[in-house]
Structure 1
């Protein structure tokens, strides 16, 4: 395969997924759980992190657990930033880029 094309397609897909996941799991869940349902921040952080983990359960238990911990971090960053969604988006995009580059370098 043409790894340059695959890398760019993979990067663009990872970028799009990171943005969509942050809009869903951080911003939308934040609005629903905190604003609409009145949950405390810790409840939002825990629920959104577990939901984010379940979104990756297909890849196995260790990935689920890793994604729950990543979700905790990203939700905490979102909450501490006062709801500035660009910060967890940037962190998520950076994480995906590192994973793609690391995976590419191991081939």
Structure 2
């Protein structure tokens, strides 16, 4: 008998840009699974706390429980945080609003 596959959602993407926009990847937050029903909000480089302050996550051996408690959340909280932060993202001095106003996303 073959084993049954297990499907696990490990990442959600949150962005104010349309899916087909060429800059969407740069202007997206990720809600990434960290195990134990905990999720972090990341821009690929850093994780965010509830106040929206970024912090480098580092390796598991370099993180302490206090850091994890400040940056890892239940899914509902993480999605709410990502939805709050996504409209305020800036990349190379450009805001989401600047990119949308510029147009030409395809």
Q: Which gives a bigger RCO, structure 1 or 2 (Cα 8 Å, sep 6+)?
A: 1
Q: Shared topology, TM-score over 0.5? A: no
Q: TM-score, normalised by structure 1?
A: 0.31
The structure in which a higher percent of residues are helix is 1
The structure in which a higher percent of residues are strand is 2
Larger Rg belongs to: 2
